[in-house]
Amino acid sequence: MIHKKEFGRTGHLSTRTIFGAFALSTASEKEAEQALEIVLEHGINHIDTSANYGDSEQRLGPWMKHYRDKFFLATKTDKRTKKEAKEELHQSLDKLKTDHLDLWQMHLLADPTEWETAMNEGGALEAFVEARDEGLVSYLGVTGHGVSIPDMHLKSIEKFDFDSVLLPYNFTMMQNEQYAAGFNQLLNECKKRNIAVQTIKAIAKGQNTGNTNPHNVWYSPLTDDEAIKHAVHWVLGNEDVFLNTSGDIKLMKKVLEAAEGFKTKTDEEVMLSDAEKFGITQLFQ
């Protein structure tokens, strides 16, 4: 059984492990059906996708026609103007076969120039507020990657009272003093304001340096069952965050199995040992 926690101020009791639907970005219909059966099997009740996750939204659509009431459904847009964002929202609703989203997120909002466009007159923020007022979406969030993203998220929630944030979080990233300081400051602010904190890259091993990658992720992931369990339990050991599953279907199942067995946070000594054994490095520099 995967534990549940209120998703910030939304009041929704979301499973602490969220289905990261990038896993469906290149999936066939059959693969998508198998993946979603696994999601139901493990009792996951929260799905996170994006308009730019390949075929993910359209793969989820047929399921939403039948299971919409079982899931807190979130998607994202990387459009920065009001017009483009609103257009993409309606496309997402069509693909997902639903008339509303539980959460709509500004995706990868890390670049300062893009931030200025999105957050000011004629920007995506205006589309977000309108969509919420029109009942097309219930809650609003912001996501991003990189060492500077905690600071950018702080800037975003100072500008607008978002309901959720999403950013990387794993043991190795938190050994970066700059990132750890920013993450902890953001987390504390989110706790004060009851903003949900979603985390990604729990099982990232480091940059993908090979010519090919057998997994549906852009980085090099952990594949060892014990190492995945340790990494997942380390993240879930922070009771203030949610963990989004890997973008690879095969690894997603391993993450969910690890999450079901969670009891206590993995010791630092174990994480340091795994880092040395598996060559884990910081994903973002």
Predicted local confidence at residue 211, as pLDDT: 59
Q: What percent of the chain has pLDDT over 70?
A: 97
**In which domain, by residue range, is 195 found?**
4-278
Predicted local confidence at residue 104, as pLDDT: 99
Q: Tell me: the pLDDT tens digits for 147-158? A: 999 999 999 999
**Is residue 285 a part of any domain in this protein?**
no
Residue with tokens 């007159």: 121
Q: What is the DSSP string of 145-191?
A: -STTHHHHHHHHHHHS--SEEEEE--TTGGGSHHHHHHHHHHHHHHH
Q: Tell me: the pLDDT tens digits for 75-125? A: 999 999 999 999 999 999 999 999 999 999 999 999 999 999 999 999 999
Residue 161 pLDDT > 70: yes
**Is residue 201 a part of any domain in this protein?**
yes
Residue 181 pLDDT > 70: yes
**Is residue 195 a part of any domain in this protein?**
yes
CB crowding 99-119: b at 16 or more within 10 Å, else e: eebbbbbbbbbbeeebbebbb
Residue 206 pLDDT > 90: no
**Is residue 284 a part of any domain in this protein?**
no
Nearest-angstrom CA–CA distance, 104 and 64: 16
**Is residue 262 a part of any domain in this protein?**
yes
What is the tally of structural domains in the chain? 1
Q: Tell me: the pLDDT tens digits for 233-251? A: 999 999 999 999 987 888 9
CATH of the domain at 47: 3.20.20.100
**Is residue 58 a part of any domain in this protein?**
yes
Predicted local confidence at residue 209, as pLDDT: 66
The 3-state DSSP class for residue 276 equals: helix
The 3-state DSSP class for residue 140 equals: strand
Predicted local confidence at residue 100, as pLDDT: 98
Beta-bridge partner residues of 48: 20, 74
The 3-state DSSP class for residue 197 equals: strand
